[in-house]
Amino acid sequence: MTALGPWVPAAMAADPQEYTTTLRPTGNADLDDALRASSDLLSLQKTQAVSPFALTGRIHNDYSRLISALESYGFYAGGITVTVTDGGGKSGAPAAGNHDGRDPDLPEWMQSIPAGHKAQITISAQPGVPFRIGVVTLNPDRGDPPVHLNADEIRAFGMKSGMPAQAESVLAAGVTLQTALTEEGYALASVSKPQAWLRPDTHTLDIAYTVHRGPVVNLGAFDFAGLQRTHPAYIARRLTIAPGELYQPSRIERARQDIASTGLFSDVQVNHGDTLASDGSMPLDFSFREGKRHSVGAEGGYSTDLGGRAGVTWTHNNLFGNAERLRLTALITGLGGSAEQGLGYDFYADLLKPDFGSRNQNMSARLEGIKQELYSYRQTALLARIGIVRRVNRRWNVSFGGQIEQEQIQQMRTNNSYFIASLPLSANYDGTGVDNPITPATHGVRLGASITPSASLTDGTSFFAIMQATVSTYFDLKALGLSRPGRSVLAWRGTIGNVEGASTFAIPPDQRLYAGGSATVRGFRYQGVGPQFANTRYAIGGTSMDAGSFEYRQRIMQKFGAVGFIDAGQVTADRTPFQGTVRVGAGAGARYYTPIGPVRLDVAVPLNRPARGDKWELYVGLGETF
């Protein structure tokens, strides 16, 4: 009597049998991949060894699995051969002979394989003649009229005589036909799994589908479940579908994704039943899981010119139940920068009202207090602005609004107070296909243009208008066959600005044009390019500015990258751009790519440093420079 009892076959109690499996190629790479993926012998051979009896069962199971793989590729007259031999080992010569996988004596034979030897299993597939589609029949469901497909439905179905009889294509044809029918408004349409008949004499496969159309259906009433703070009326206005419109699953899914994109919800689902309402429409059931209303974040950055900045942000989402967002931010600035004379602050409150007046229009308002201890000037200001951003289409948006600012500015020991009112207008184009501004662009063009009519209302009124334009473009070297997509990118940026209506000293210092720093010319400190007060490092500013940048961006492995760049720019008190002394900076940087965007570290040096200019600059931030 064994430990397992006298009724257990001896093979079950035998020592585990290790083995290796070889699949002989068929000459069809795709078929070989399917056979390899279907074989338990292959997928399980590296797991714990099993007894000869269990290994025999694994071999028997593989026959049906491999035959199914052959049939899925249209080989319905194929066969599978499995042979087992003693693969040998360190303990001696292998046993002679081989055994068929269906041999009833296989378990007993494998018990005779010496300890330390591996069984060698060889799988051979004989595909035979490939079958093709024969007769294709579309049968109506009981009580339905005969099935007649229109041109669009025929294209979607795609199944016809003479095609390879592959299971994947046969099944997919029914699915795509059902999808096409539902997109035409047949909400209850169904296409059954096909029946199939083998015709060995002609090597064909006849198939038949049962098709039910049902009535053309419009959308019915919408039910919103799970809304706790969000007003149902806001959801109804935001939705891109409405009751009474034609039922189309693709439009319903786009509407669901659009609602999910508001950021209000951690989950948005939409479902409907299998029956219609009494009026023949299809009701939809939306279910929502609202996200957190409050969040706290940290913000920071560093450059040698502006120093460090650090602070916190507190956000209140869905403030009044219509997706409004209130964000409070407190920042300490000027921590050790070469363009700073001391610490400053930036406190502001932002209120965003989405879908203001219309679906593609947002209203934003800001109240802000600023203190800056720059070498160019010292500023303490309170400003308030309100604006509207309208999305014209997928690539264009425009904005307009109003701003007032009360400020105290000291420049060269002279203190002045200003009250400035302005009406900023801007237009932006983004053809890069990148939705998140932090995600690096690899192709396309971005354009931005603004004009800000302003009036300084202290000590007499002066009117001026600030005009600026920026263009950046990106070129992927994949287009020249020199790299893989997104790995090597050339990037250019050009900026031009002009102030009309007043001379330099008639404009408040913070409204003048400057260059230098990461936004224009790296290697020069912030506001370090352009006219300076004599024998100082204090910038005067100007009424015209132009700057350009070129970068070569190279991804390295998965998460790292390197950048080489050169910048140039100039500022002048002449209202004509491209005047003054051109300053040029160059440098290199490293990138570490995170899920939210690249962490950027750039080092730049001036190639024609002015008197009292910095010898080098370092910049740290999130996202590419442009």
CA torsion 515→376→534→517, rounded to 10°?
-30
Dump pLDDT digits (tens) for 199-222: 999 999 999 999 999 999 999 999
Q: Among 516, 610, 526, which Cα is nearest to 570's? A: 516
Residue 100 tokens read as: 């068929």
Q: Looking at the predicted structure, is the pLDDT value of residue 450 above 50?
A: yes
Q: Looking at the predicted structure, is the pLDDT value of residue 309 above 60?
A: yes
CA-CA distance, 390 to 261, in Å (whole number)?
17
| Residue 377 CB contacts under 8 Å (≥ 6 apart), including other chains | 409, 410, 411, 509, 510, 538
State the pLDDT at residue 9.
Answer: 41
**Mean pLDDT across 474-500:** 96
| Residue 426 CB contacts under 8 Å (≥ 6 apart), including other chains | 398, 399, 400, 448, 449, 450, 451
328, 358 in Cβ contact below 8 A?
A: no
Diameter of the chain by CA atoms?
Answer: 114
CA-CA distance, 117 to 114, in Å (whole number)?
6
* Per-position DSSP letters for 322-353, written without gaps between them: SS-EEEEEEEEEEES-TTBSS-EEEEEEEEEE
**Mean pLDDT across 261-283:** 95
Q: Looking at the predicted structure, is the pLDDT value of residue 409 above 70?
A: yes
Residue spans of the domains in the chain: they are 19-126, 132-212, 218-290, 294-622
* Per-position DSSP letters for 601-618, written without gaps between them: EEEEEESSPPTT--S-EE
State the pLDDT at residue 12.
Answer: 41
**Mean pLDDT across 291-320:** 93
CA-CA distance, 77 to 62, in Å (whole number)?
17
Q: What angle do CA 444, 514, 603 make, to 5 degrees?
A: 65
Q: Looking at the predicted structure, is the pLDDT value of residue 5 above 80?
A: no
Residue for token pair 């015209």: 544
State the pLDDT at residue 461.
Answer: 81
State the pLDDT at residue 6.
Answer: 36
Instruction: Tell which wins on pLDDT, 487 or 460.
Output: 487
Q: Looking at the predicted structure, is the pLDDT value of residue 4 above 60?
A: no
Q: What angle do CA 377, 381, 385 make, to 5 degrees?
A: 125
Q: What angle do CA 54, 60, 65 make, to 5 degrees?
A: 120
CA-CA distance, 616 to 587, in Å (whole number)?
9
What letters, b where the CB count within 10 A reaches 16 and e where it falls short, cover 2-21?
eeeeeeeeebeebeebbbeb
Does the 218-290 domain belong in CATH 3.10.20.310?
yes
Dump pLDDT digits (tens) for 61-114: 999 999 999 999 999 999 999 999 987 766 555 556 788 999 998 998 888 888
CA-CA distance, 507 to 514, in Å (whole number)?
13
541, 509 in Cβ contact below 8 A?
A: yes
596, 615 in Cβ contact below 8 A?
A: no
State the pLDDT at residue 535.
Answer: 84
Q: What angle do CA 88, 94, 100 make, to 5 degrees?
A: 95
Bridge partner list, 603:
588, 618
Residue type, 70: L
Q: Among 592, 503, 585, which Cα is nearest to 540's? A: 503
State the pLDDT at residue 458.
Answer: 82
Asked if the domains at 132-212 and 218-290 fall in one CATH topology, the answer is: yes
In 523-582, beta strands by DSSP E: 544-556, 560-572
Residue 484 tokens read as: 């893989």
State the distance between the two ends of the chain, measured CA to CA, in whole angstroms.
Answer: 81
Is residue 103 helix, strand or coil? Answer: coil
Q: Looking at the predicted structure, is the pLDDT value of residue 560 above 80?
A: yes
State the pLDDT at residue 619.
Answer: 94
Does the 132-212 domain belong in CATH 1.10.10.10?
no
| Residue 280 φ/ψ region, left for φ over 0, alpha for ψ in the -120 to 50 degree band, beta for the rest | left
Instruction: Tell which wins on pLDDT, 574 or 275.
Output: 275
CA distances from 45 to 21, 58, 206 (A): 7, 10, 38
State the pLDDT at residue 437.
Answer: 81
Q: Looking at the predicted structure, is the pLDDT value of residue 496 above 90?
A: yes
Q: What is the mean pLDDT of the chain?
A: 92
State the pLDDT at residue 576.
Answer: 81
Instruction: Tell which wins on pLDDT, 579 or 593.
Output: 593
Dump pLDDT digits (tens) for 216-248: 999 999 999 999 999 999 999 999 999 999 999
Dump pLDDT digits (tens) for 173-194: 999 999 999 999 999 999 999 9
Q: Looking at the predicted structure, is the pLDDT value of residue 301 above 90?
A: no
Look at strands 361-373 and 583-594 and give their pairing. unpaired
Does the 294-622 domain belong in CATH 2.60.120.200?
no
**Mean pLDDT across 446-464:** 91
**Mean pLDDT across 250-255:** 97
Q: Looking at the predicted structure, is the pLDDT value of residue 1 above 80?
A: no
**Mean pLDDT across 5-34:** 75
370: Cα within 13 Å, side-chain hemisphere = 18
Sign of the CA dihedral with 598 first, then 601, 605, and 609 last: positive
Percent of the residues in the chain that have a pLDDT greater than 70, as a whole number = 96
**Mean pLDDT across 544-562:** 96
Residue 302 tokens read as: 């560093």
How many residues appear in the chain?
A: 626
Percent of the residues in the chain that have a pLDDT greater than 90, as a whole number = 80
CA-CA distance, 530 to 626, in Å (whole number)?
22
State the pLDDT at residue 96.
Answer: 60
Dump pLDDT digits (tens) for 351-369: 999 999 888 899 999 999 9
CA-CA distance, 485 to 191, in Å (whole number)?
40
Instruction: Tell which wins on pLDDT, 562 or 94.
Output: 562
CA distances from 257 to 46, 196, 218, 519, 600 (A): 43, 39, 21, 35, 32
**Mean pLDDT across 380-403:** 96
State the pLDDT at residue 387.
Answer: 97
State the pLDDT at residue 397.
Answer: 96
